[in-house]
Amino acid sequence: MHAEPQERASQVDPSRMIDGAEGSTTVEEGEHVVIGRLIRRLKISDAPSRFQTLATNVLRASLGVEATAWVPASDYEEVIVSGEVLGVSASDYRLLAAPFARDAVQIVDDAQAGPAPAPESVRSFAVVAAGSAGALVVVNPQSGQAIGPLEVERAQYIASLIATQANNATIYAELKDLLFGIIRALTTAIDAKDPYTSGHSERVARIAVRLAQELGMPPQKRSDLYLAGLLHDIGKIGIDDEVLKKTGPLTPQEYHRIQEHVEIGVTILQDLKKLRHIMPGVRHHHESLDGSGYPDHLEGDEIPIEARILAVADSFDAMSSNRPYRRRLSPMQIDEILKKGRGVQWDPAVIDALFACRMDVEAIRQKGLGESLIGAVDVTLGRR
Ligand SMILES: [Fe+2]
């Protein structure tokens, strides 16, 4: 006797089952409850197949049929099947839908006498089209009764939700491509402006992410920091070449002009609303813990944490690189400067984090390991 699995199954709270991996629900639930729950699960950033799996599971359970299938209009997209009808494969659902896919609704009460050859185990089915997106196929009511208008109406709702989510997913992918392209174009522009520091922004971004990880910051904050690192010096686009690339000592006016890159950076980015959250890092990455930095002479905790992390990553990479006016510093020289500036120029916790993962940071600097732009763009678009 092995009654335990069934007893366990009956202990599951049916009202919570839609949230599970299977997306199950109960036949007793009203239509508005079922639809409402599905709508709450509509996420623009989800893969369409994930929502389609959930929706076909919900529809099958709520109608009490043997199987439901989402057949996308494109042959390149996968047919999503919930339930099982003996001997019926995913491609069979495509064949069942094919003659009717452009009709709004088609009910075939006797599948074996239908216009297309149906597998023997299919008694009756309905095809509910969702515009140009595809069609839902509903197969074999378990009661043995015919598929009626109520079942069709519910399938129509769910088919339109699937079509809406697929549309949203396309728009999301386009938006993601666009933001990715904008950020890449901006970072390329910084590199083109000053080839000597080419790759600096990318390295600062990756080092900052590693420091944030060491400091226990959550993944979303690390992704934000990655973008802030990529764009922290975007304002240098607005600085004259003769000042930016000068190898000799700077006059006070020239030094002041270079300092303005943080404010120019904010001006460049301010119209990109989706990037507003990275502004504090761009504006304040040259602040110093003792208040001697710029542009606002912030002190200690007044400096946003992302700016305090970027300041360390920025300085570390700058000291580790050759510049027109000096050779790169040795690791010993860098350590000495970092220790001296701990608690004066830089946040002690961030300096400690750097020493705690010094080997990793060195590897990131040399090999470019770490966060990817595409992942960070995803997180950025997911923000409210
Ligand atoms: Fe800077």
pLDDT in tens, 322-348: 777 778 889 999 999 999 999 999 999
Distance of CA 17 from the midpoint of ligand 1 (Å): 51
Which pLDDT score, from 0 to 100, does residue 109 have?
86
Q: How far apart are CA 260 and CA 295, in angstroms?
A: 8
Count Cβ atoms below 10 Å from residue 294 Cβ, excluding itself.
Answer: 17
More confident: 223 or 281 = 281
Helix, strand or coil, per DSSP, at residue 333 = helix
Using the predicted structure, report yes or no on whether residue 82 has a pLDDT greater than 50: yes
Q: Say how many C-beta atoms besides its own lie within 10 A of residue 121's C-beta.
A: 16
Q: Highest mean pLDDT: which of 20-29, 99-108, 113-122, 221-230?
A: 221-230
Question: How far is ligand 1, taken at its centre, from the CA of residue 341, in Å?
Answer: 18
Class of 194-382 per CATH?
A: mainly alpha
Confidence of residue 3 (pLDDT cuts 50, 70, 90): very low
Is residue 12's pLDDT more than 90? no
Task: Give the whole-angstrom CA distance, residue 126 versus residue 119.
Answer: 15
Both structure tokens of 369:
């390991």
Closest-CA residue to 234 (of 203, 200, 266): 266
Query: Do 290 and 325 meet the contact criterion of CB atoms below 8 Å apart?
Result: no
Mean pLDDT on 180-192: 84
Q: Is the predicted pLDDT of residue 15 greater than 50, yes or no?
A: no
pLDDT score of 180: 82
Average pLDDT score over residue span 360-374: 73
State how far the Cα of 217 lies from the Cα of 368, in Å rounded to an integer. Answer: 21
Torsion over CA: 131, 137, 142, 143 (sign): positive
CA of residue 227 to ligand 1 center, whole Å: 14
| 117: pLDDT strictly greater than 50 | yes
Give the strands of the sheet with 80-83, arranged side by side.
80-83, 65-72, 134-141, 125-130, 105-108
For residues 303 and 284, what is the distance between their CA atoms, to the nearest angstrom? 7
Ligand 1 centroid to 354 CA: how many Å? 19
**DSSP symbol at 347:** -
User: What local confidence, expressed as pLDDT, does residue 349 receive?
Assistant: 98
Q: Give the number of C-alpha atoms closer than 13 A to the C-alpha of residue 318, restricted to the C-beta side.
A: 12
Burial 12-23, CB ≥16 within 10 A → b, else e:
eeeeebbeeeeb
Query: Is the per-residue pLDDT at 42 higher than 70?
Result: yes
Query: Distance, CA 58 to ligand 1 centroid (Å)?
Result: 53
d(CA 328, CA 115): 77
* Integer-rounded Cα radius of gyration of the chain: 29
CA–centroid distance, residue 287 to ligand 1 (Å): 10
- Share the mean pLDDT of the chain: 84
> What does DSSP assign to residue 77?
S
Please give the helix or strand (H or E) that residue 195 lies within, else none: none
Q: How far is the CA of 262 from the centre of ligand 1 (A)?
A: 6
Q: Is the pLDDT of residue 9 over 60?
A: no
Contacts of 63 (CB under 8 A, 6+ apart): 27, 138, 141, 151, 154, 155
Does the structure show a pLDDT above 50 at 11?
Answer: no
Rounded (5°) CA angle 241-246-247: 150
Domain with CATH 3.30.450.40 in the chain: 4-171
For 124, what's the count of Cα atoms within 13 Å in the CB-facing half-sphere? 15
Parts of the chain belonging to CATH 1.10.3210.10: 194-382
pLDDT: is 237 or 12 the higher one?
237
Q: Measure 352 CA to ligand 1 centroid, in angstroms.
A: 22
Mean pLDDT of the region 364-384: 68
Report how far ligand 1's centroid is from the alpha carbon of 374 (Å).
24
Distant-in-sequence, close-in-space partners of 157: CB < 8 Å, separation ≥ 6: 31, 35
CA of 172 to the centre of ligand 1 (A): 32
Q: From the CA of 360, how far away is ligand 1's center (Å)?
A: 23
Q: Looking at 3-7, 73-77, 340-344, which range is the least confident one?
A: 3-7
Structure tokens belonging to residue 271: 């119209």
Is domain 4-171 annotated with CATH 2.60.120.260? no
The arithmetic mean of pLDDT across residues 207-232, rounded, is 92
* 309 Cα–ligand 1 center, Å: 13
| Burial (Cβ within 10 Å: 0-12, 13-18, ≥19) of residue 370 | buried
Distance from Cα 232 to the centre of ligand 1, integer Å = 6
3-state secondary structure 256-319: HHHHCHHHHHHHHHCCCHHHHHHHHHHHHCCCCCCCCCCCCCCCHHHCCHHHHHHHHHHHHHHH
Collect all residues with Cβ–Cβ distance below 8 Å to 251 and sequence separation of at least 6: none
Separation of CA 377 and ligand 1 centre (Å): 22
Residue 22: pLDDT band with limits 50, 70, 90: very low
CA of 173 to the centre of ligand 1 (A): 32
Ligand 1 centroid – CA 259 distance (Å): 8
- Compute the distance from residue 281 Cα to the ligand 1 centre, in Å: 10
Give the tens place of pLDDT for each residue, 273-320. 888 889 999 999 999 999 999 999 999 999 999 999 999 999 999 999
The pTM of this model reads 0.67
Q: Which pLDDT does position 213 carry in this prediction?
A: 95
Work out the average pLDDT over 179-191: 85
The alpha carbon of 57 and the centre of ligand 1 are apart by a number of angstroms equal to 53
Dist. CA 235 → ligand 1 center (Å) = 8
C-alpha of residue 233 to centroid of ligand 1, in Å:
5
How far is the CA of 79 from the CAs of 49, 71, 162, 290, 298, in angstroms? Answer: 9, 5, 13, 62, 57
Instruction: Give residue 384's pLDDT.
Output: 60
